[in-house]
Structure 1
């Protein structure tokens, strides 16, 4: 890829926001909707590890941390650290309350005839076909529901990453305090040491539902690294996109392309209608995947793949911003700026669509229509600020 010069930075920096990050967050939210509305369509067939060992979850956690670091540094230039910390703790509490509202709204929906909640009250392991309930049996006493809800030990699996996000935001003031004191290197050493230990010992520190998919001590590394990068935005982004660092972009392309071809050997590819490569024995591929590319425990290969893809996309947006912005910015930037709002809304769209006969037809064109309808409606609701005063964003 030949890079000449970056686009004028004033084009993608507006009101203190880096629109490149909003664009990428919008892309992540698009993938979230496609994957969680789990139907094979002309869009979803490219959404699940089709470009390598990456998923929307890693991008959401990393970019959320990056934006938080960027915004918090700006705030701490005009206000005390403790004031910024209180903002973040209030945000954490706000999201916790939103999580509880979603849990109990689904409990109520489950009681109403004609509303289908199976897709949000159960998780299906697509590799084995096994079905796991993520909500307690309806006949259990309300005290059981209340206890599990308050401890985040129940809830739609499509929303459980927000449980992780709640705790990460709550701890982020400590990370910001240390970074502000010039301890960024020590922060990175500690968080990746914890990540490495968790890779060997697999700790479950909260026993909340999200830890079974997003272990806190593993995923904190992505979020807090994002905070460090966002806090040092000018230095880090200038380094990644500098013309003299073309070797870094070239290396990222080599890594990403190599892992793309490796990922295409997955014989259990989700939402993929055609054959995959068969250059690797399926048993050997599974062993390799679990050790180096596992999603739950963030295999090292997956982390590298995500880093390479971020460098590629960020460079592409930096050097060709007018083209990307004109093509997709109108859609991706608004939903990227309201990512938590979109996360909440899409849960109810899953219930809405599931309560119609449409998914049962299992038709790729109908499924494509479902995905397009959902994405357009969410975008329209964002643009018209529907319930913005109520729903966190």
Structure 2
């Protein structure tokens, strides 16, 4: 089959880095119970949240990067790069799981609070370490808040065959993804964990967001441009975002909820995150329509110095995510020890974001230094 993909121009799209960094900050804050700063994240004001954004952008980036490799260097080169990336993600996940378990266990014992071992699903590993060790390797066991990375690993590790079709028949690949999504929701497909439960992020459902991002990267955005750019679609997106805001604010509030009919609120309570409810997908796409209208790829806003920390975090997303996971429990322990003191919530959230940002700057410096050393070594060999 002939290649039909129309990839964006080569080079970084700073919007992807910006929103991936924003997603990492939001995931960190959302993982901290009783954290007042989490009220600035999107999950309180609409159906989708940072996880939806992260998976969607990951699909776009995967198709953009590895699709170009496939077109320019062939299928085997793209598969090799994809598997290498999946192994990097896998290694990072294994490492952060053990660090997280060690931190939770140490803090819980130090504070004489064994309840956290159960709350964060660490007691299972302590009770059966050898069994759960093998479950960790199989991605079947993970402590609380460590669900996004296994989903990402699985999607990247299985993306190669789909990418072959995506760069040749992108719409057909997307239709296949939609069929899997609908079948998973209808038949209840999911993967099992080691604790007689299922994956919190159902991969059969969440793959659709990944494929949507990939489809847009290989030409979907160009194909849908004439429709998406119309004023009708823009105002429909605005209307849906307002509706999602009202419903999301009303559901947990008896005062606001009483102003709206129960039949209107019922379909959205609870918000079906595990199986990726359709209204979450529509909400994310509505956000994408509005954001791309006001923030084109060449917008001078992306050059603002105030946004550089977020962009750096997006450019070092894996490292920042892993740091944020561990820091989220540390922040939780500090807040719990202070009996939910407001100043501790603000301090813990702010300190965590600063440490994540410092980690991003360090990794940027480390990569630049590595390139300089490599260049100097090559020049020395030539000399």
For Structure 1 versus Structure 2, the TM-score category normalised by the shorter chain is 0.7 to 0.9
Task: Give the 3 Å change call, closer, same or farther, for CA 65–195 of structure 1 in structure 2.
Answer: same
Aligned to 1:375: 353
Which residue matches 1:9? none
The answer on whether the counterparts of 1:89 and 1:170 sit within 8 Å (CA) in structure 2 is yes
Question: How many residues were matched structurally?
Answer: 357
Find 2:12's aligned residue among 17, 38, 44.
17
Match of 2:127 in 1: 139
Which stretch shifts more, 256-265 or 103-112? 103-112
2:293 is aligned, of 307, 312, 315, to 315
- Structure ranking higher in helix proportion: 2
How far off is 1:285 after superposition? 6.1
For residues 226 and 328 of structure 1, what CA distance do their matches in structure 2 show? 27
- Partners of 1:158 and 1:232 in 2: how far apart? 34
TM-score of the superposed pair, with normalisation by structure 1: 0.80
The separation in 1 between residues aligned to 2:48 and 2:141, in whole angstroms, is: 26
Counterpart in 1 of 2:173? 187
Q: Look up the match of 2:75.
A: 81
Check the 8 A contact 1:152/1:208 in 2, yes or no. Answer: no
2:249 corresponding residue in structure 1 = 264
Please report the TM-score for the alignment, with normalisation by the length of structure 2: 0.82
- Shift in Å, 1:212: 2.9
- The question of 1:114 aligning with 2:93 is answered no
Tell me the distance in 1 between the aligned counterparts of 2:116 and 2:215: 34
Whole-angstrom distance in 2 between the partners of 1:326 and 1:82: 40
Q: CA-to-partner distance for each residue in 1:272-301, whole Å, 9 max, x for gaps?
A: xxx64432356x56631258x411111111
The equivalences for 1:1-393 within 5 A come to 16-41=11-36, 43-47=37-41, 49-109=43-103, 112=106, 113-114=109-110, 122-123=118-119, 133=121, 135-136=123-124, 138-140=126-128, 142-180=129-167, 182-207=168-193, 211-232=198-219, 235=222, 239=226, 242=229, 245-267=230-252, 276-280=256-260, 284=263, 287-290=266-269, 293-318=271-296, 321-323=299-301, 325-326=303-304, 328-356=306-334, 360-385=338-363
Aligned to 1:3: none
* 5+ residue gaps, structure 2: 1-7, 368-383
RMSD: 3.1
Cα contact 2:22–2:314 (8 A) shared by 1: yes
1:247-269, CA deviations, whole angstroms, 9 ceiling, x for partnerless residues?
Answer: 32222111111221122211269
Matched residue SS, 1:294: coil
Alpha-carbon separation, structure 1, partners of 2:227 and 2:350: 34
